[in-house]
Amino acid sequence: MIKKTIWITGGSTGIGKALAIKFSNEGWNVAISARREELLNELSDKYDNITAFPLDVTDKEKCIEVFAKIKNKYNDIDICFFSTGTWNPKKEKDIDVEQIEEVFKVNFFGTVNTIKAVEQFFKDKKSGIITIVSSIAGYRGLPNSTGYGPSKSALNNLAESLYFDFKRSNVRICLVSPGFIKTPMTDKNNFKMPFLKTPEYAAEKIYDGLVNKNVFEIHFPKELTLILKLLSFLPSKIYFRLVGKLTKYQKK
């Protein structure tokens, strides 16, 4: 039986790392990418079917080169899971233009770079899954989120747009919207995170959604995401009032 293959970016920590281990344990070939090569090598040394392909997703040419290496090793790729992200809460409270540019460069354009690298392969293959990792922060505007939330909202729109384009080639576009997952990135938060879950919990939900189901969006935990989805349908006046109270927002 031929092993299936998944390529995961952001695979050195958090959700990406947990998902790499999950797919590895399920017998898949796993190609993992991130900037921190030493962390990737720790995983690849521990798991025979995980291979490290270091990558900075903001480098468009490097994305193409790394994907070529992955194709050369495995010949076929079934799923791409693009989960690169950055977040600096200390710089989100004010309009820090350089910070916002950096967030979009990594979160949005880094994802676009990797999708572009695999676009023709999947359109020629006429099957497979391209997964875009967003966040519940992309549903609607939130306080103290001048860069991160807008970058994730842009990914939501991108995923919906690409859904139509890739469907013509029988390629599934999947959007992943996690709630609060305990990772090095969320460890920066200085507020209580409701329904906080582990990366392993996220990996189980994502694996099930990608392999066993055929849905556009995988979102979890439902106790949180369904509430936020309901809020997203509210008129702006009511939404602002409710979210303002929930986040104890105060006028300056």
DSSP notation for 149-188:
HHHHHHHHHHHHHHHHHHHTTT-EEEEEEE--B-STTGGG
Residues 134 and 162 sit within 8 Å (Cβ to Cβ): no
Backbone angles phi, psi at 206, to 5 degrees: -70, -45
Angstrom distance (rounded) from CA 103 to CA 101: 6
163 is catalytic: no
Catalytic one among 47, 74, 139, 148?
148
- Distance (Å, whole) CA 191 – CA 62: 37
Whether 44 contacts 36, CB under 8 Å = no
In order, the DSSP letters of 210-223 are: III---SEEEE-HH
For every residue of 126-145, DSSP letters joined together read T--EEEEE--GGGSS--TT-
What are the residues whose beta carbons fall under 8 Å from the beta carbon of 121, sequence distance 6 or more? 67, 71, 77
The residues carrying an active-site annotation are 148
